[in-house]
Structure 1
Amino acid sequence: MSNVVTIVEKLVQPIVEAHHFQLVDTVYEKEGQSWYLRVYIDKPGGIDIDECVLVSEQLSEKLDALNPDPFEEAYFLEVSSPGAERPLKTEQDLQNAIGTYVHISLYQKIDQSKIYEGTLLEVTDQTLTLDIKIKTRHQTKKFERQNIAKARLAIEF
């Protein structure tokens, strides 16, 4: 499966760059009886449906022209926005998220919790620093990057 994702990312990257979009993620997965190829794109200010259709059509043409076909099964192609709570997967994603509200999930509990949300203050090679609100107080907390399972943007309530 990772081979398919690699092939698709090489095909879609020039398309998104030509339109000044960003490739956020590519996922090839089975749900029930069906396979889905999901490509998530974004740009500053957000991506709209017409831009998703544009990328979908151009990518579909390139996928249809592949020989040999890397897909063993029929699949559904979905090109969409990653949403308001988009994942932060790359170093650039993390750097761009400084000053915004984020959600992190940890591999191991720290202070009896594996989930934290707060404003991302700093990103280094080793740590992420968040300003976390606990009841009425703010606390600055550093998290070792090796202990972070997932990071994404979050909506603050």
Structure 2
Amino acid sequence: MAKVTDAVAQLALPYVEAAGCTLWDVEYVKEAGEWFLRVYIDKADGVSIEDCEAVSRPLSDKLDEADPIEGSYTFEVSSAGADRALKKPEHFAQFQGAEVEVRLYRAKDGRKDFIGLLQSWQDGDVTLEVGGAPMVFTKQEVAQVRLYPRF
């Protein structure tokens, strides 16, 4: 569904920027038999409900007008969140040195989840500092990388 997400990202960008935010990600996923279109936004001082509303209202109208998606779906605009998924090269560059959680498709050394400091990202391969030593996870191994906030 990359074409849908790319089209929505292009439509969303002016509204996101007009609200003083940045576009973090767009996803179009099927959950429990229903389609969801989610636009994730970010802002240096945090995303408020007013920011989400400032993007959601005009973008919803634009989506109705442009009609880039066949069929029905639920539309949501939300903050990327403190535990946001890192997907794009610029996400990994922005959070280099931050604590992240890497989830694997299959267990490695008896586990599927690793928490450490993000050292690098290269063509989908992720290097973390785990317990003071570097660990490399290949693109084929990695199911998801998320920020790991501590409260």
- Which TM-score bucket, shorter chain as reference? 0.7 to 0.9
- Alignment-mate amino acid for residue 115 of structure 1: D
State the match for 2:68 in structure 1: 70
State the match for 1:122 in structure 2: 120
Deviations 1:4-49 (A, max 9, x none): 3232112002222344422222222344454322111112232111
State the match for 1:141 in structure 2: 135
State the match for 1:112 in structure 2: 110
Query: Matches of residues 3-152 of structure 1 in structure 2 within 5 Å?
Result: 3-32=3-32, 34-66=34-66, 69-125=67-123, 127-133=125-131, 138-152=132-146
State the match for 1:153 in structure 2: 147
- Alignment-mate amino acid for residue 143 of structure 1: F
CA distance in 1, matches of 2:124, 2:39: 29
SS in 2 for 1:150: strand
TM-score after normalising by structure 1: 0.80
- Alignment-mate amino acid for residue 27 of structure 2: V
Shift of 1:146: 4.0
- Alignment-mate amino acid for residue 90 of structure 2: Q
- How many residues end up aligned between the 2 structures? 151
SS in 2 for 1:65: helix
Task: Give ranges in structure 1 of 5+ residues lacking alignment.
Answer: none
SS in 1 for 2:86: coil
SS in 1 for 2:50: helix
> Identity of paired residues, percent?
40
TM-score after normalising by structure 2: 0.83
Change (3 A) 1:109 1:8: same
SS in 1 for 2:118: strand
Q: Say if 2:8 and 2:68, in contact at 8 Å, map to a contact too.
A: no
- Alignment-mate amino acid for residue 42 of structure 1: D
CA distance in 2, matches of 1:153, 1:120: 9
RMSD of equivalent CA atoms = 2.3
CA distance in 1, matches of 2:111, 2:145: 15
SS in 2 for 1:106: strand
Q: Which runs of 4+ in 1 moved over 6 A?
A: none
- Alignment-mate amino acid for residue 45 of structure 2: G
